[in-house]
Structure 1
C-alpha cells in the first residue's frame, strides 16, 4: 500500500480523536502513525495544560508509564548480545545477595522470568507507591514479599520485577539503568527530548500536565515521581522520539545502518513466553500472550505487538504490526484513560481496510459492568489505583460502611507498625479521630466495630479495611491490611513496634 493510500485511509481521524476526547472526557492526546520509515500522521489534540489553554504538539512530553518496560527488556537484550547476560541463567549468578521469599525462586529466577511476569509474586504495589525508598532498598525488600502462585505457574503483572531487571542490567554494566538507556538507546536513536523523571520533565519547554475526571470536571492532579521503580515505568517522551523507537522495532533492531540490537535478540523479545489476561479478549483478539516487555496478540488476523502504560494523570499505547510495517503511538494526559486503546484500534482497522469495531461501545459496556469481572481492565495498568479496576464510585463505597463509636480507648490503636517488606505505618490520633500514614500518604480512618476500621486511600478514591489484632492485655499487637487484589493473596500484616 502506498503512503498516499495509507494517509487517505486515515481521513476522518481528526474527528474521531476529537470525539474520543469528548466521549471519554480526555484533556489532551498526541497521535503518530508510521509506515516503514515514513511518518504518515503526527498530531496533537486538545490541551497539554487546560488551565493555560496550551495545546498539545508533537513535541509535548507525556509520561508513558509501562510502555517503558520494552526499553528495559531491550537493554537486557543488548547485554545478551554482549555476552554479559544470559536469558536463562539465574539472577543469583549475577547478584549473590539476591533473595526472594520463595527459596526456589531465589535459586532459579532468571531475567526471562522477571521480564515475562512469572515470578509468582502478586503486584505488591503499595511497597513502592509514593515511597521514599531507593531502588536498591526495594530490591532488598523482595525477600519479605509473599507469592500467591508457584514460581513460573502463572502470568501476573509485576512492576517490582521490572525494577529489579533494570537494577540488574545497570549493575552488570557498572552504571545505572538510566545511563544505560540514555547511552545505548536514547542517544543513538536521537531521542533528545526523552527523560526519566517527571521532575525533569517539568523543567522542559513543552510538557503535559496530569488530569483526572471527577464529577464531570477535569481536575489537575500532582505528578507522581516513580524514579525508584523507573525501569517499570518512569520514561517521559513525545511523538517525535517515540517515532524513532517504533522505527527501531520495524527495522528489527537496526537504526541508520547500525544494528543496535541483533535480529536474533529482537525476535526473542517478540516471542510469546506466557499466555496472559487481556481486557479486550473477543473475536478481534482471541488470545493474548506476553513476550519480554511486549504483549503479543493476533488482531483481526494480523500480528500485533504492543504495550500500554498508565500512571497518575497519564496513559499511553505503543503498538506495531511487523508484517504490515505499521507503527502507532498514542499519548494522553488523563488518568486511566482508554483513549490510547480506542484510537490505536481504530487506526489499525482503517489501515487494514477493515470495518471499524466500536471499541468505545465495547469498553463502555465493560466499564458499566455488563461483562465478566475476569475481563476487567486490570493487567495493563501500573498501580493499584482508580486505573486498576472500573470499580464502583467512592460515594457508593462509602454507603457500604457505617461509622461506629470506639469500643476501646482511642490510644489502644495509636503507634508505629512495621512490616519487613512494606516498612513502617503510623497510626496517629487527630482531632477528629485516627489517621494512618504510610509512604507519606495520609489516610483517614472510620471505626466499624470489632477492632476494624474503614480506611480511605485518598489518592485512589477507594476504601479498604484495617483489622487490628489484640494481645492478652487487650493492647493492639498488629494490623492486617488487604493491600493485594489477586486471588489467593493474604492480607499484609504490620506488627506494632514496642515503645519500651
Structure 2
C-alpha cells in the first residue's frame, strides 16, 4: 500500500446543519495526528467520527476514504451498515409495546405470543423478552444459520425450537442474533406491522432520521455510501469485498443503514431521556430499562492486565462499563468489511458515533477509547499499540497454522463408497440444507449462498478450500446400519452439527405415499399404515410410528435406525411390506380383502 494513499482526508462540513465546536476541535487536534498513524499501522481504508455534546452534533471528520479505490471522502451523510447497533432500535421499539401492556419485559413471552416455541417446555414457560434481548437464554450464537442465508424472519422464529441451550437460563451471557431477529418478528405478530414499518413509525420518523434505510438495495440508490474492504490474507493489500446483503431475515439484529447526521438525532435522544427537539419521542422508561444491567459480562481487559475498563454489564441492546472512572454506555457492530460503535458518557454528556471500514476488530475499540480520553482531557492509553501487538501475534499464529493444514492427513486412503454416494442434499432442521454436487469430476459444497470447492481429505472426510471470507468446512461422512452414506457431521459455530441426507423429493408426494396406505396381515394380527397431513406416512399404534422416506419403496423408523420397511410391488400395486432388522427379515402381506 503506497504511503501517498495514506494521507488523512479531514473534512469540515459548513453546509450541514451543525456547528463545529471550537473547544472540541482543539481537543481533537492531537487525535487527528494519531489517526494518521492509526490508518497506516492498522491498514484502515477509512474512519468516520461524529461527536454529540449537549444534544447537538458538534464535530464530524472523515479519516481516509469511504471508497478507497475512488478516493472518495467520508462525510456526515455517508451511509454505513450499523450491524449490531440495530439491536437497540429493536429493543426500544419493543419497549413501546411493553408500555402499552401488549408485552412485558419480565413475564414469559409465550404468555403474550403463544406461537413462539423454544427447545422445551421449561424454556417456553420461562423465557422473557428481557432474556431474549440481553443474551441470557442459554442458547449460543448459531450464526451460521443466518450468515449468507435467504431464510425469512418467520423461518428464523420457527427455528428457535431446534436450538438446544448450552448452559442454564440466566447463568451467563451468550450473544445470539437469532433471538433479536425473532424478537423483531414479535412486533409483526402483535401489531400486524413489519419490524421495519414499526421502527420507521415509532423511531426514525419522529427523530427525523430521513436518510436511514434497511437494506443494501435501498442504500445503493444513494451516492454517498461506504464501500467495504478487507486485507488480503498474509499481506497488506486491501481489496474490495461484497456487501453482506443477506440481512433481510436477520433485520432486527443487524440491518439498519444510517449516517452520522441521522445517528446524532438518535444519540441525542438517548442522552436526553428520550427527548428530541423538546418532544418526548421515546418514553423515558424505555431508555432506562434498556440500560438496566441484565447480565454481567467478563472483565476481559483485566485478564490482559489492563485496568482502564471495569465491570461491563449488558442491558438490552447495549452495555455499560466503567472507563477510567466514567460511566460509558456503548454497543459495537460488525458485518463484512465494516465496524460501527455508538456510545456516550451520561454524566459527561458527550457521545461518539464511530465507523471503521476494514476487518481489524480490535481497532475500533482502541479509537473509541482514545476519543473519549481526548475529550475528557485525560492522558491517552496506548490502546493501538496493545492491539497491534495482539493482531500481529494472531496473524503469525494463523499463518503458521495454515502451513500445517495437512498434518494428520492419512495418505493413500480412498472413500469407502463411490463418489456419487456422497452427493445430494443434506439437511439439519435448524441450519437448513447443504448441497454436495459434482461436475466434471469436481465436487462442490453449497451452504446458503456460500459456494466452495470440496476435496477428498482421507477416508470418508472431505474438506472445502480454506476461503479468506467464508472459511473452511470439513464434512465427516457416516454410514447407516444398512451401510449407506446417510449423513455427515460438520463443525459449525460452537459445536458439531449433523446433516442427514434427504431422500428424493418425489418420495414425499401424496401420489407415492397414498399407495402404501392400507391394512397388512401378520399371523392373526392386522397392522394399518395410514397417511397424515397428506405427506406423512405412519404405522398405526400407540403411539403411531412415522415411516421416514429413505429410498424408493423403502422407509426407516426414526427411533430404530437399524430397521427398514420395504414395500414390495407387483404389477404396480403393493403386495407386501418387509421389515428388515438385525434379527432377520419378516414379510407382512397386504390385506386386499377390504
**TM-score of the pair, normalised by structure 2:** 0.76
Of 359, 363, 366, the match for 2:383: 359
Q: CA RMSD in A?
A: 2.1
| Per-residue deviation, 1:213 | 0.9
Segments of 5+ residues of structure 2 without an aligned counterpart are: 1-19, 505-551, 553-594
SS at match of 1:12: helix
SS at match of 1:55: coil
Partner of 2:151: 133
Counterpart of 1:435 (choices 425, 444, 448) is 444
Partner of 1:305: 329
Instruction: Tell me the equivalent position of 1:251.
Output: 272
2:491 equivalent to 1:482: yes
CA distance in 2, matches of 1:275, 1:494: 35
For residues 199 and 296 of structure 1, do their structure 2 counterparts lie closer, same or farther at Cα, with a shift above 3 Å needed? Answer: same
User: Aligned in 2, Cα 1:100/1:392: closer, same or farther, shift over 3 Å?
Assistant: farther
Residue matched to 2:287: 266
Match of 1:220 in 2: 240
Partner deviation per Cα, 1:260-303 (whole Å, 9 max, x = no partner): 22222211111111012465443011221101110110001110
Q: TM-score if structure 1 supplies the norm length?
A: 0.90
Is 2:481 aligned against 1:472? yes
The corresponding residue for 1:51 is: 69
Deviations 1:354-378 (A, max 9, x none): 11001111212333458xxxxxxxx
1:165 corresponds to 2:183? yes
Larger fraction in strand: 2
Which residue of structure 1 aligns with residue 509 of structure 2? Answer: none
1:417–1:494 CA contact under 8 A, matched in 2: yes
Distance 1:170 1:248, change over 3 A: farther
Distance 1:406 1:191 in 2: 60
**In structure 2, what is the equivalent of residue 407 of structure 1?**
415
Q: Does the residue aligned with 1:467 lie in a helix, a strand or coil?
A: strand
| Residue 103 of structure 1, CA deviation | 2.4
Corresponding residue for residue 496 of structure 1:
501
Query: Is 1:151 equivalent to 2:175 in the alignment?
Result: no
1:240 to 261, 267, 284: 261
Number of aligned pairs? 476
Task: Give the drift of 1:89.
Answer: 1.9
Cα 1:344–1:23 shift into 2, 3 Å: same
Matched residue, 1:420: 429
**Are 1:26 and 1:337, in contact at CA under 8 Å, matched by a contact in 2?**
no
**2: distance between equivalents of 1:407 and 1:179?**
53
How far apart are the structure 2 equivalents of 1:398 and 1:452?
A: 20
Q: How far off is 1:325 after superposition?
A: 0.4
CA contact (8 A) 2:150 2:448 kept: yes
Indicate conservation of the 8 Å contact 1:64/1:235, yes or no: yes
Q: CA deviation at 1:337?
A: 4.1
CA distance in 2 between partners of 1:38 and 1:291 (Å): 25
Q: SS of 1:482's equivalent?
A: strand
1:291 aligned residue (309, 315, 319):
315
Name whichever of 130-139 and 455-464 sits farther off: 455-464
In structure 2, what is the equivalent of residue 204 of structure 1?
A: 222
